[in-house]
Amino acid sequence: MAEIRPLIAARGAMATQDCNACPIRHRAVCARCEGAELDRLASMKSYRSWAAGETVALEGDMLPFVGTVLSGCATLTRSLEDGRVQMVGLLMPSDFVGRPGRATAPYEVTAATDITLCLFDRQRFEALLTDAPQVASRLLEMSLDELDAARDWMLLLGRKTARERVATLLALVLRRAAVDARPLRAQLPLGREAMASYLGLTIETVSRQITALKRDGVIRLEGGGRTILCDDLAALLIEAGDDGDGEMPG
């Protein structure tokens, strides 16, 4: 997913930077920090990378850190005992990972692409939280945004048809990827399986709905189905069933 957010630096370059130079400060938890807090953040952080497909944390794992996504894309999933899986969040660069105040991960975290995180020791971060209001209020704001996004997704999962779900996701990806280009074009960051998991559908249904949207002239495909083009975003948003201003759950 890094490729559709060109602002984000490649991960090799990242490992030597500190919070002051963080290219994602505009959204990340340190966005409002000043001298002293930045120094504290910088003193407790480290970097770590995972390859696409690797597990960052299993449900119930001890998580000694919290952190921020620097590059790449990770998924949060919850599953039932018989193997049914639902994606409950998609982490993009600048998104926050982990849960201050809780030692174990409530869902499985998996690297969807190669990914690098900027990690903070959880307990030291919690201490910072209690006496740096900017950090706490910034994190609160991010959490509330995620809550809104999760609730939008509940509407999709509870009430939308398969075609509407697929159209919603494609519109979301297109709007993130390219606000300017015409026609809109985006490489799908997720394979069909991850899309199905996100949308509460099966792979086959996702595939059929994409084919149907293509047949009906709403989208076009390129590069073996991994790149989508759209000439008329308004038409795609109508297919999505609402005005389409929903945000992606983080």
Partner DNA sequence: GTCCCGCATTGACATGGATCAATCGTCACC
Partner DNA sequence: GGTGACGATTGATCCATGTCAATGCGGGAC
In the 8-state DSSP scheme, what is residue 189? S
Q: Are 55 and 121 in contact (CB under 8 A)?
A: no
Q: Is 87 in the site for DNA (CB under 7 A)?
A: no
Strand, coil or helix: 91? strand
Residues making contact with its own copies (CB under 8 A): 76, 78-82, 84-86, 88-89, 99-102, 106-107, 129-134, 136-137, 139-141, 143-144, 146-148, 150-155, 157-160, 199-200, 241-243, 249
Indicate which of its own copies, DNA, none lies near residue 45 (CB less than 5 to 8 Å, by partner kind): none
* Residue 194 CB, nearest approach to DNA (Å): 8
Q: Is 73 in the site for DNA (CB under 7 A)?
A: no
Indicate which of its own copies, DNA, none lies near residue 202 (CB less than 5 to 8 Å, by partner kind): DNA
* Rounded CA separation 170/188 (Å): 8
- Phi and psi at 127, nearest 5°, equal -65, -45
Distances (CA, A) of 235 to 157, 229, 238, 243: 21, 13, 5, 11
For the record, the structure tokens of 97 come out as: 């990972």
For the record, the structure tokens of 224 come out as: 């073996």
* Residue 248 CB, nearest approach to its own copies (Å): 13
Instruction: Give the orientation angle of helix 162-177 with respect to helix 203-215, to 10 degrees.
Output: 70
Choice between 113 and 143, CB closer to its own copies: 143
Applying CB under 7 A, the site for DNA has a residue count of 22
Q: Is 99 in the site for DNA (CB under 7 A)?
A: no
* Residue 239 CB, nearest approach to its own copies (Å): 13
Choice between 142 and 186, CB closer to its own copies: 142
Between vectors from CA 248 to CA 46 and to CA 188, what angle results, nearest 5°?
85
Binding part of the chain for DNA, among 6-14, 16-24, 113-121, 155-163 by CB under 7 A, reads 155-163
Give bridge partners of residue 210 from the DSSP assignment: none
Binders of DNA in range 184-223 (CB under 7 A) = 191-193, 200-208, 210-211, 221, 223
Q: Are 156 and 198 in contact (CB under 8 A)?
A: no
Chain residues binding DNA by CB under 7 A are 161-163, 191-193, 200-208, 210-211, 221, 223-226
